Structure 1
Amino acid sequence: MAKNKNTDVPINGLYDEEGKIFTEDAEGTPEGTEAEVVEEETEVSLSQEELYALCRESVCPECDVHKEAEGIRLRALADAENLKKRLLRENEEMKKYAGESVLADLLPVLDNLDLALAHTGGLDDACKNFVIGVDMTRKIFLDAVKGHGLEAVQAAVGAEFDPEVHEAVGTVDQSELGDNQIAQVVQGGYILKGRLLRPAKVMVNKA
């Protein structure tokens, strides 16, 4: 009688396809196999500007991209500084000449006072006090506008004509005056804080 062969099967064991016995590890994964780990891919979306920024931060100083980025940065800083200086300068100039339009509107008052004083010749004694009052009013008014930086342009008969502050409205021929000298002041001129507000209108002698 043939003997039956008893095949011992380990209690905790398994056979693989080749009939070899392998055991399970502590985590329940059969030995001899590799655990496959699948990592989820994370999709990152960056704008073109962000990519350039990352590139500029990562490249070496000698890279052309770095040099270009540094040049752009320096130009931006220079432009910002120039803009700041220009705005400050414009702000200061605006404050300095804030009353220019008001003072320009007051100039006809001075013109009329000057005109009144220019025609005081031959008046009787009864009008002298009136003339003195007009002259005092003119001086007070001129002192008031001087407090705001307004000054009269120097223009007198016999003075040299200066095209920077004088405006020639005509010419005359007077032998007692030299060439290019002022023969008559038609209208006074004024300067506001170093800037010409209105030139003095004069007649110029041409010998």
Structure 2
Amino acid sequence: MANPENDDFLDDVDAAEAETYADDLEEFTDEALELDELKAERDELKDKWMRAMAEAENARKRADKQRREAEMYGGSKLARDLLPVYDNMVRALDAAGEKTEENSALIEGVELTMRELLNTFKKHGIEPISPEVGDKFDPNIHEAMFEAPVPGTKAGEIIQVSAEGFWLSDRLLRPAQVGVSSMPAS
């Protein structure tokens, strides 16, 4: 036979254990939620860190590229400003004509100065584009100053060179200025 006092005691013990289990379960659930929140925060911070590292690497690469370009092309403005000096020396030599006793020192001086300027250009990666009469016109490196029908030529041939062009490393600094034949096809 069951003792009613024992049943009340068991009910009290079961209720106390159940309450303890409920408290433990609630605490466990809170800890699990907190752990999930911490994991989510960790993942978010890791993602932000990875993005920041990638952005820093991209910034470093951009800076390296800009530095290399500045080294290669930084003097392009100065070089463009010096090209008319070269052109004027070429014109001076053309105007001087044949070398005579009277003008030989002047011509030699201009030639020497021009050679020194070309050596300086070469040292800094500036190379002349020197088309010849009869070469095919290339719009990528030549600038057509005029077109004229010249017998004995084909359309698109260079008939006159007004000014040499120049490369700065792999970039066109100035196109060669040329006259082009517009002779119609026979």
Give the TM-score range, shorter chain. 0.5 to 0.7
Q: CA deviation at 1:55?
A: 7.2
Structure-to-structure mapping, 1:101-120, within 5 angstroms: 101-120=77-96
Q: CA deviation at 1:112?
A: 0.5
Give me the whole-angstrom Cα distance separating, in 2, the residues matched to 1:55 and 1:201. 74
Give me the whole-angstrom Cα distance separating, in 1, the residues matched to 2:76 and 2:52. 36
AA in 1 matched with 2:54 = A
Contact 1:56/1:69 (8 A) holds in 2: no
Alignment match, 2:178: 202
Alignment match, 1:38: none
For structure 1, the 5+ residue unaligned runs are: 1-53
Give me the whole-angstrom Cα distance separating, in 2, the residues matched to 1:105 and 1:143. 17
Alignment match, 2:119: 143
Q: CA deviation at 1:58?
A: 2.8
1:82 match: secondary structure? helix
CA 1:181–1:56: 2 relative to 1, 3 Å:
farther
Give me the whole-angstrom Cα distance separating, in 1, the residues matched to 2:36 and 2:48. 11
TM-score using structure 1 length:
0.61
> Does residue 181 in structure 1 map to residue 157 in structure 2?
yes
**Aligned sequence identity (%):** 35
Give me the whole-angstrom Cα distance separating, in 2, the residues matched to 1:103 and 1:168. 22
Alignment match, 2:138: 162
Alignment match, 1:125: 100
1:178 match: secondary structure? coil
CA 1:83–1:56: 2 relative to 1, 3 Å:
farther
CA 1:125–1:172: 2 relative to 1, 3 Å:
same
> Does residue 83 in structure 1 map to residue 63 in structure 2?
no
RMSD of the alignment, in Å?
A: 2.8
Contact 2:86/2:114 (8 A) holds in 1: yes
Give me the whole-angstrom Cα distance separating, in 2, the residues matched to 1:68 and 1:174. 74
For structure 2, the 5+ residue unaligned runs are: 1-33
AA in 1 matched with 2:51 = R
Q: CA deviation at 1:200?
A: 1.2
Which structure's residues are more often helix, by fraction?
2
Give me the whole-angstrom Cα distance separating, in 1, the residues matched to 2:114 and 2:122. 12
Q: How many residues align?
A: 149
TM-score using structure 2 length:
0.67
2:131 match: secondary structure? coil
Question: Mean alpha-carbon deviation: is it higher for 167-176 or for 68-77?
Answer: 68-77
